[in-house]
Every structure is written in C-alpha cells, then in structure tokens.
Structure 1
Amino acid sequence: MSKFNWTDFGIDKKLSAIDRDVMSMCQEYFDIVEDIRDTNQLKVLNSFIELGVGAQHLQGSTGYGYGDIGRDMFDKVFAKSIGAEDALCRTQFMSGTHAITVMLFGVLRQNMTMLSITGTPYNTLRQSLGLGDAKRGGLHDYGIKYKQIELDFNGNIDIDEVIRNIDDVDMVYIQRSRGYSIRNAVSPEKIGRITSTIKEINSSVIIAVDNCYGEFTSASEPTEFGADIMAGSFIKNPGGGIAETGGYIAGKNSLVELCAERLTAPGVGREIGSNILGYRNMFLGLYMSPHITCEALKGSIYSSALFELAGYKVSPSFSDSRNDIITSIEMGSENKLMEFCKAIQSTSPIDSYAVPVPGEMPGYETDVIMASGSFTNGSSIELSCDAPVAPPYNVYVQGGLNLVSTRYALLKALSILGNNNDC
C-alpha cells in the first residue's frame, strides 16, 4: 500500500519531521474547528431542505430579472443559514468593500453619525468614509458624520470609551476581522455583549458589522447575537471557493430593504437584477462553505504552529480561538517578506510561474505585495497572502481550499526562509 511521503514532493526529511510534530500540536484545535464545521454544515443543509431548494432554482434569468426564483430563493437560504431575518445576495456586489459601502449609504441619512469602535476600517473604505484625501462621494458629501474610537492598549474594543461617546450616535460599526493589524478578530459572542451594552444606553443605535473573513469560523454569526446588519463577500468564506463573484447584506428586513433600494433604485429594490449564468455555483459554494472555511481555519492554525515553532512572531497563536481566517507572521525583513510571497505564489495552482512584486495600492501609504494564484480573481478563501512593505514586515496569510496544499506551500516557504531561531 502506498504511503504519503513529503520527500516525494521536494520536502526534505527534517521538514517532514517538523510537519509531523506540527500536525500533532494542532490536532486538538483541528477538532474544535471541525465541530464548528459540522454545526454549520447541518445548519446550511437544513436551510436548503426546509426551504425546498430545487433544480429550477439553479437556473439563470435575463433582462430586468423580474420573477427570478433562483435569486429570491438564495436570499432566503443564505439568511436562514446565518440566522438573519433577511438577506440581499447579489452578483452585482463587486467586492466586500462595495457591499459594505451600499450597507452604509443604504442605512445612514443626512445629519446621522457613524461611530467605528474598532479603529480605522480597511483602507479600501477610506474614500467612502470621507477620510484622508477623500475628494467626492464619501459620507461627508451627504452630510453624514464619521467618528472612530481606537482600540485599547491590548488591541481590544475600548468599551468604556464607547459608552462615553454613544449618546449622539446613530450607527456603531464593527470590523470583525483584523485587517492589517495584529489584534484578534472579534467573536460573535463579543459583538453580542457589546451590542447589549450599547442598546441599554441607546436602544435606537444600529449595530453594523463588516463580517468579511469571519463567516462560518464560529458556530453562530453576529446577526444571531443582536447585530442589526452586516455585509460580506462571496469570494471569501461564504462562497466556498466556488462562487465566482458577489456579496451580501444581511440582517433586519427593514434595513436590508433600504440597502436594496440603494443598490438598485427607490421603488425597485430587490425586485430586479438578473444573472444569466444562473445560481448553481452560488448554492454549491454556500453548501460547501462550512467545509472549505474549516480547511482554511486548519491552514491558519497550522501556519501559526509551524512558524511559531520556527521562531517567528505570529498572531494569533496556534492555540488561540479564531474568528477569521487570517494569520499574521512577522518576517522581520523586506527580503524575507519577498521570499515568503514568492513561495506562496510558486506553489499555487494558477499563475505559479508569476513573481509577485510590490506596488502602489489606493489608500496605502507604502507599497503592498500580494501573492494569489487563485481560480477566482481576488479570492481570499483560496490560499493567498499580502503585506504592506514596511517594518516589521508582517505578512497576512489567509484561505486555503485544502489543508495539504496549504501545508505544502508553507513548508516550501520555510525551507527557503530558514529557522528564525538561528538568526
């Protein structure tokens, strides 16, 4: 009987032994995320069954998309799967940033105030929020105020500061994932506790969540713990590596309807929007997403353990609970950062021959380098990494459709970089 051997694929015996040790270290934490996977898988499956998804719902539509039963059924299935009252899932959402922006502009009105309690959101939202050199089209252009509260010294939400600033606020915004930082992602349970505290003081506040990278990493979603509305992307966790595009806004029906009218037009809302390719890959992607997200989480746990063992600073640690699929590894030098990204690219199924180089990115003060040999352009549920090219040269690794390929890429990277304990 054939037995798998890393040396058959260019990984030396020393690294093969390290891989065995790392897998042993990780097993109890793999068991935890597998339990989460199983819970979420059955929630999704039962949503399909209870709502009666049929082959007819996989078909596409043309023109205006009136009476598109596939589109309308997918909204219902996704909402039920994540414990939300309603959901607007559309291929017309071009990115997570787009879905979040529609959520903000759909809900907020002139003279309202938005308060971010997780510091500055992703740089790709800066223009929408009216920050920095924003020129036009941001919240400020519509008379909407933006404020933010920085995280405390330990990288946690400063709830005391939130309480002091909540009286004149209409929306509290929470970015669940870490972004380009080394703070921990925010769990749905923690969002629930914060929501309860805020609502006791100001019951009219809308709790809005950027849920990107967080879907199905926990057995519950923020909407199941009191969040009023949230948004994300189907080329991240909930698309299961199968959905080719699209995003969602989910939460209270009254708020989702406002967002639908922002995406299309007042009076039209969710009743239009065709998809000539059909909904097969969206349904299949959602169905597979608990399993695929679990594989990404295992890869994240493994990457922390492997590089922690090799002397690198990582966040979160392999033994920490995870509420997104991102791991930060401190490379310590620009050269190591470049080599790591090259290794990830060279072990990707698509464009493995490409060499990633740093480049300018809108909203970032430094060059950014990215590696992503993915089947779907920009997919971050597939193994990828990116990093600002600046000290301490943290690289942010996310995704991975299957654990063995992720292990292979990371072992290749470590074989090039070497053990940091030897530096």
Structure 2
Amino acid sequence: MVLNSWKADLPADLVAKVEKVDEKIKDHLQLIDEQVMYNQQRLLSLFRKHRVAEEDLVGSTGYGFDDMGREKLEAIFADYFKAEDALVRPQLISGTHAIATAFYGVLRPNDTLYYMTGMPYDTIQQVIGIVGDNPKTLHEYDINFDYTPLKENGKVDYDSVKEKLTTDDSIKVVAIQRSRGYATRESFVVDEVREMIEFVKEYAPNAIIFIDNCYGEFSETTEPSFYGADLMAGSLFKNAGAGIAKGGAFLVGRKDLIAQAAAQLYAPGLGKAEGPTWGYQRDFYQGVFMAPHTTGEAIKGAIYTAALLEELGMDVSPKWDAPRTDLVQTVTFGKPEPMIKFCAAIQHNSPMNAFVDPVPSYMDGYEDQVIMASGSFTEGSTIELSSDGPLRPPYCLYIQGGLSYAHVKLAVTAAANEAFYKENK
C-alpha cells in the first residue's frame, strides 16, 4: 500500500511493534490534541484582545523606542502566563541567558540563591560558579548558593527544605527547575510545582520564587506562574517559538522583578523602554501563536518514542503513558557505545546534515563530553527533533522536540532499525 511505503524496508518484527504501539497510544494522542485546542484558544483570544495588526510585525531599529509591536507581544506573554509583566527580547539569546539575567537582576552580595529541586543543570552551574573557571559568576559577586538534594525517588525533600527556609535568613531566591535537565529524575508536573510554590510561601513568604520553565511551556493547560511564582524564564527557540523564532528568550513575573531584569539586560534608567526588535517580531508572533500546536506534536512524538523503545526493551523515562510536562524523553543505555550509535541514527534521519556522524566533544558550559544530534533549521533548537547527553554514567540520551509528529515517528523508527536491527544482520 502506497500510504505505508515508509515501512517497506523495515524488518517485519519492527513493523509489528510499530503497529502495536500505534494502537496502544492512540487515546493518549487524542488527549494531547484536546490540550492543544484549549491552549490554542487561549492564545487566539489574546491576539484578538490586544488587536495585533500587520504593523506590529515590522520591528524597530536603533534604540527601539516606542516599539508598539514589542509592547503588545509582551502584554500577550504576560496575559497568557497570568503574570504582571514580561520581557520578550531577541537580546536574550537563550534560556540560560534569561535565567542568568534574572539572577543578576534580583540578587545582591551576601544573598543566597537556593535550589529546592536539587543541583541545577550544567550551564547554570557555570553561571553560579561552582564548576568551571569563568569570570563574572555569581560566586565572584559574593552571592551564595545552596541546594537540597532530591530524595531517592526524585521528589522534593520537604523536611530538609523546610529546615533551610526557616533557618537561613540570607535566602533571597528559591529556584525550582521544572525539567530534568541532564538528570535521571522525572520532570515535575505543574501540580507538583504548585505544591512547591505553596510550601515556600508558607515557610519563606518574603523569598522570590523563581521557575526555570525551559521545555515546559504549553506542555500542560496550566503553567507555574498561574500559582504565584514571582519570576519565570523560558526560551523562544524551544516551545514558545515553535521552531519559527530563530533565537530569543523571555521572562514573565512581577513588574518590579521584570524591571530589575531589564535594567540588568540593558542599563539602569533604560530598562524596558529600549531594545530594538529588528526583523524578529514576525517570527516571535507567529512562533508563539504556533507554540501550542508544535509543542503538542513534539509531545506526541515523545509518547511514541517511549512506547516503541519500551517494546525494544529499553529503559525509558517518562514511560509512554506517564503524565507529560515537557518535551524531554530519556533513554538509558548503560554504556557509551550504543548511546553514540543511536544518537548518530537520529542525526542520519534529520532534515539538515543527515550525512554527518556526531562525535563526542567538549562544549562550552558543560564539564563532560557531550554527544549531540541536531539536524535542525535553527542551531540549538530543541523544539526541533534532537538528541544529546553527557558521556557519563548511566549514559542517558535525551531525545526531545519535533516540529511534526510525522517526522519524529519516521526518524525514531528508522533510528530503532539502524541501532537495534541492522547490527544483528
């Protein structure tokens, strides 16, 4: 049958597994479609409310004064995330940059940045100054860092967190990392984050609650900012840009905290009033409008990936039928060789640089060698299908993104064939 020609060269056993997976996951995919519809309706209503027009897409140059399109876009972000204000700028080049901008904006010497969700991931460790030998770290500015390890089950150790919050008066910012980063623990669903926020408000009511929301936007029908988070960061070349935005990041939260972050990003006295948007505005608007749909496609791809690789005997997290709160799907290989081979197979089934073999190497911001497949149209775009991971035990590959469910399904199935079947012939 022509419609199934993509399966023609696959082993019969793999085809049978794909068909079994298709039947098993179909109801879960329908639930994701319903979630997409809800989030899309909310965004559409905000575009109408703020009277977005063609002239808002033009962008500004020079200082960027009186950029009405920028102001409307930030109002849409603030409204969608139920926050007082937003900073949505091309000058924020990544999620890590947005997070660093927030920290430098609100923290002062002798303040403590405290992570209640365990040690943050590699690039944030570099910002803090606990790894690497970089200038301008938080440590260099006498800003303290502390964290509470998660329990063995990957959940928050509330007893230890309570002790920290009630005995350390220097804690200025309590940080919550929603996604797993390069850890093996589960990402935290929004209901779990809400519980964390409520806990901090009870025991440290004056602390600023910061959410690292990267990979999480539009993955559920609610966001952590709905429940009283003070400041939250995300990237525009992850979920919120839908593969259309070529860069940029955002912060949403309390108006006074956004003002401090803007002063850090630009200069005191300038703040949000400046910041040209050049030719980015059309991509930013279209990207966020498409974000619910594209995020849904990526999540459906992650569900399929988990289900198929489980059928092949792999250790995956989350399981295919577990609640989804971000784009990240992990596969544990236990040793480096099969991890590298599977990552290469993803690269070979990408639209860009499919002829390239990824090689483990050291990257800025990471302590270990990293293997990465990313045949994306935008460099580093993790809303597009990619896979990566540090070469360290337990040798987990982090598969994420996908502009369309169809591409994820084609690529992951072909990668499974290349990694699990061809080697046995």
- Using the size of structure 1 for normalisation, the TM-score is 0.96
Structure 2 unaligned spans of 5+: none
Which residue pairs with 2:264 in the alignment? 262
Contact 2:347–2:356 (CA<8 Å) still a contact in 1?
yes
User: What is the deviation of 1:363?
Assistant: 4.5
1:397 is matched by which residue type in structure 2? I
Residues 240-251 of structure 1: pairs in structure 2 closer than 5 A: 240-251=242-253
Residues 13-412 of structure 1: pairs in structure 2 closer than 5 A: 13-167=12-166, 168=169, 169-412=171-414
Task: Give the percent of matched residue pairs that are identical in Structure 1 and Structure 2.
Answer: 40
1:3 is matched by which residue type in structure 2? L
Distance (Å, rounded) in 2 between the aligned partners of 1:402 and 1:209: 28
1:109 is matched by which residue type in structure 2? R
User: Would you say how many aligned residue pairs link Structure 1 and Structure 2?
Assistant: 420
- Tell which deviates more after alignment, 274-283 or 10-19: 10-19
Determine helix, strand or coil for the equivalent of 1:274. Answer: coil
Q: What per-residue deviation string (whole Å, max 9, x for no partner) do you get for residues 65-121 of structure 1? A: 111111111111122122222110000011111000001111112221111111111
- Tell which deviates more after alignment, 116-125 or 261-270: 116-125
User: What is the deviation of 1:333?
Assistant: 3.0
User: What is the deviation of 1:213?
Assistant: 0.4
2:307 is matched by which residue type in structure 1? A
Contact 1:7–1:13 (CA<8 Å) still a contact in 2?
no
User: What root-mean-square deviation, in Å, do the aligned CA atoms of Structure 1 and Structure 2 show?
Assistant: 1.7
1:294 is matched by which residue type in structure 2? G
User: What is the deviation of 1:274?
Assistant: 0.9
Q: What per-residue deviation string (whole Å, max 9, x for no partner) do you get for residues 298-349 of structure 1? A: 1111111000111000011001101111011012332211211111111111
Contact 1:149–1:162 (CA<8 Å) still a contact in 2?
yes
Q: Cα distance 1:398–1:197, how it changes in 2: closer, same or farther (>3 A)?
A: same
Q: What per-residue deviation string (whole Å, max 9, x for no partner) do you get for residues 280-308 of structure 1? A: 11100000000000000011111110001
Distance (Å, rounded) in 2 between the aligned partners of 1:162 and 1:276: 44
Contact 1:119–1:148 (CA<8 Å) still a contact in 2?
yes
Distance (Å, rounded) in 2 between the aligned partners of 1:73 and 1:363: 34
User: What is the deviation of 1:174?
Assistant: 0.7
Distance (Å, rounded) in 2 between the aligned partners of 1:405 and 1:23: 15
Contact 2:349–2:415 (CA<8 Å) still a contact in 1?
no
User: What is the deviation of 1:351?
Assistant: 1.0
1:42 is matched by which residue type in structure 2? Q
Indicate whether 1:5 and 2:13 are aligned.
no
Structure 1 unaligned spans of 5+: none
- Tell which deviates more after alignment, 243-252 or 187-196: 187-196
Distance (Å, rounded) in 2 between the aligned partners of 1:244 and 1:364: 23
Contact 2:345–2:419 (CA<8 Å) still a contact in 1?
no
User: What is the deviation of 1:381?
Assistant: 0.2
Distance (Å, rounded) in 2 between the aligned partners of 1:136 and 1:3: 56
User: What is the deviation of 1:135?
Assistant: 4.2
- Using the size of structure 2 for normalisation, the TM-score is 0.95
Determine helix, strand or coil for the equivalent of 1:57. Answer: helix
Determine helix, strand or coil for the equivalent of 1:170. Answer: strand
Distance (Å, rounded) in 2 between the aligned partners of 1:84 and 1:190: 19
Distance (Å, rounded) in 1 between the aligned partners of 2:266 and 2:194: 31
Contact 2:241–2:288 (CA<8 Å) still a contact in 1?
yes
User: What is the deviation of 1:21?
Assistant: 1.0
Contact 1:296–1:381 (CA<8 Å) still a contact in 2?
yes
Contact 2:132–2:367 (CA<8 Å) still a contact in 1?
no
Q: Cα distance 1:221–1:264, how it changes in 2: closer, same or farther (>3 A)?
A: same
Distance (Å, rounded) in 2 between the aligned partners of 1:16 and 1:215: 33
Contact 1:6–1:12 (CA<8 Å) still a contact in 2?
no
Distance (Å, rounded) in 1 between the aligned partners of 2:295 and 2:10: 26
Distance (Å, rounded) in 1 between the aligned partners of 2:270 and 2:107: 19
Q: What per-residue deviation string (whole Å, max 9, x for no partner) do you get for residues 120-148 of structure 1? A: 11211222212134443111222211101
